[in-house]
Structures are given as C-alpha cells and as structure tokens.
Amino acid sequence: MAVNRNVVDRALAVLRALPRVSLYNIRDHDHRKKKSARGQHGGGTHGHGKKFRQNYLPLGFESGNTPFHLRFGMEKYYKRYRLEREYPPVSLLMLQKMIDTNRLDTTQPIDLSSICNTGVYSMNINFNHHGVNLTDEEGFDQFCAKINIEVQWASEGAIAAIERNGGVITTSYYDPLCLHAVTDPARFFLRGDPIPKRMIPPEDAIEYYSSADNRGYLADPEKVSLARLALAQKYGYELPKIEDDPDYTMLTMRKDPRQIFYGLEPGWVVSLKDKAILKPKDKELLEYYRT
C-alpha cells in the first residue's frame, strides 16, 4: 500500500526534531507481556515452596546470640578519626643527634624528605600521619645547630630554640598525595609519575599555616620578622642578626607553596634510568602546574 509522500516527509521532519532514542524516553506499550507468576497458571505456590509459609528472619540475625553488628556500641570520640591529622614527633634532642651523626646536612635546607631519609624517623601515611612535629620537650638546652628547617608542626619552644641559634624554621603542609612523594622520593621517582603540585591546607589548618606566630609558609615574612623578635623577648635571648650571616641565602631559601622538592617544579618527570628531567611543554599542563 503506497504511503502518502507528504505524510512521510512530515514524519521524518518530526523525527529530525525529536531527541535521540535512549532508555530515558522509551517505555513498554500497554499490551506488553506481563511478568509471569511462575509456572503454569502461576504455579500454585508462585515459587515459594509447598511446605509452609516461611518467616524471613532479619538481616544479620545469628539465631539468638547478639549479632556482630550490635555487639559493640558507638563511641563519640572516634567519630571524625579520619579527619584528625597526626604529626609523629621529633624532639630537639633527636634533631641534634641526627645532625651530630651526619644524618642531616646543615649546609643545606632540611625538610621532611631529609628527615625521612635519615632512616631514624618513621611515619605511616595510612595512619593519617602528616609529617614532623618538632617538640621542645627534650633538648632545648642541648640544641646548638644553625639550620634552615621545614617541619609540619612546631611548638613555640622548638621555634625559639632554632631561632636562638641563628636558624630559620618554617611550618608547611603537604597533602597526602604529595606525602607519598616527599617521604620516599627515591621510590616515587622510580614510578615515573610527574611531580604533583601541593594543595592548600584544609579549612581547619589554613589558619595555622597563615599565622606568623607559627612561622607558617603562607604567612607574611615581614610579620614573621616581628614575631621572631617578640619570641626572643618572651624567652629572653638575643636574636642574632640574620642579614649579616654569611649563610643568609641558604637560611632564607623556601619552597613555593605549590612546590614539594627544592629545585624541582611540579609537572616535571624525573627519569632515574636516563638521568634526565622531562618538562611539560603543553600550554594547558603548564597553566595547570602554575596555578
């Protein structure tokens, strides 16, 4: 039977305008085959067996004894345990020992990578450890090294001890992804991944790292200079003139807030096998790593 050409054209025009056929705009027509009640004419018991009307027991029921998921009550103290960062401590005494045994080089800036590479400090990223906490519990009086150190947390006494000897201390944050690279650089470079860029600290930490009193890496260096004097006044020591120090350039060396290794930029790929560094050239990548 011949279909009117006009009808065909109109139908095709409608089809052109309609959206693509997908699961979201099709449905069964009313005369579709209904789901069977199983077996011939429904099968009598409809698939539930001939014995008796079964009682479905609650999920997790252990035939009488307290189920596993009800044995232990909830405690408030561990509610946000995954969000609570931990900083395994390094005392000033431990730091002095590392320096005295040549595990740390004081002629170069010390950061988390150097401390992890001493082999004497251990931390586990899986346990929510975010870096070094420099404490002044032991070794305030014994500490006598002039260093440029970057830690993740520092007590006021520790800051005073470092600055008293003419050194510089900075507290900085590494997000967990960067920590994998920073804590074991050799292993990270074997992977051949590009150096990641550091993320800014989480909401509850950003105030700490922007504060000059904590020597945060996001704080204004001018305010840090004043805070150094205030701390010297508090603890009663004469603040050494850092500008007159011959190691001034080494002591004031700092990483960019997005950088995780000194002298290496995020985005670079370090090839240990070829003993070369591969740098990205793509505009989008360069923009990503510089923002």
Partner 1 sequence: MAQFNRFTGIFPLFRAIKGIKVNHSSNYKSAIALENLYPNSKLTLTTPSKIPETNEKFNGYIPVKELQITYSRSSGPGGQNVNTVSTKVDLRFHLESATWLNEDIRAKLLEIQKNKLNKEGYLVIKSDLTRQQHMNLADCLSKLRKMIWAACAADAPAPAPSAEFLEMARRRKEKAARERLLEKRSRSMTKQDRQAPSLD
Which residue from 202, 201, 227, 200 is spatially nearest to 212, judged by alpha carbons? 227
Q: Is 124 in the site for partner 1 (CB under 8 A)?
A: no
* Buried residues in 206-229 as b, exposed as e (16+ CB within 10 A): eebbebbebbbbbbeeeebeebbe
Q: Is 208 in the site for partner 1 (CB under 8 A)?
A: no
> Which of the ranges 26-34, 49-57, 81-89, 247-255 carries the binding residues for partner 1, by CB under 8 A?
247-255
CB under 8 Å to 181, separation ≥6 — which residues?
188, 195, 196, 260, 261
Contacting residue, 96, 118, 171, 214, with partner 1 by CB under 8 A: 118
Is the backbone of residue 215 left (phi > 0), alpha (psi -120 to 50) or beta? left
Q: Is 279 in the site for partner 1 (CB under 8 A)?
A: no
Separation of alpha carbons 98 and 118, rounded Å: 7
Which residue from 180, 177, 173 is spatially nearest to 202, judged by alpha carbons? 173
Q: Are strands 89-91 and 148-151 parallel, antiparallel or unpaired?
A: unpaired
Separation of alpha carbons 272 and 191, rounded Å: 10
Contacting residue, 93, 165, 175, 184, with partner 1 by CB under 8 A: 184
Q: Is 109 in the site for partner 1 (CB under 8 A)?
A: yes
Q: For residues 65 and 122, which CB has a smaller minimum distance to partner 1 in the complex?
A: 122
Separation of alpha carbons 278 and 264, rounded Å: 11
Q: Is 226 in the site for partner 1 (CB under 8 A)?
A: yes
Contacting residue, 36, 124, 142, 225, with partner 1 by CB under 8 A: 225
Q: Is 265 in the site for partner 1 (CB under 8 A)?
A: yes
Contacting residue, 234, 271, 276, 285, with partner 1 by CB under 8 A: 234
> Which of the ranges 14-22, 24-32, 75-83, 234-242 carries the binding residues for partner 1, by CB under 8 A?
234-242
Q: Is 283 in the site for partner 1 (CB under 8 A)?
A: no
Q: For residues 104 and 179, which CB has a smaller minimum distance to partner 1 in the complex?
A: 104
Q: From residue 114, give the alpha-carbon distance in Å to each of 52, 84, 97, 121.
A: 72, 25, 14, 10
Contacting residue, 253, 269, 280, 286, with partner 1 by CB under 8 A: 253
Q: Is 130 in the site for partner 1 (CB under 8 A)?
A: no
Q: Is 242 in the site for partner 1 (CB under 8 A)?
A: yes
Q: Is 228 in the site for partner 1 (CB under 8 A)?
A: yes
Residues near partner 1 (CB under 8 A) are 102-105, 107-109, 113-114, 117-119, 136, 140-141, 157, 160-161, 168, 184-187, 189-190, 197, 200, 218, 220-222, 224-226, 228-230, 233-243, 250-254, 256-259, 261-266, 272, 289-291
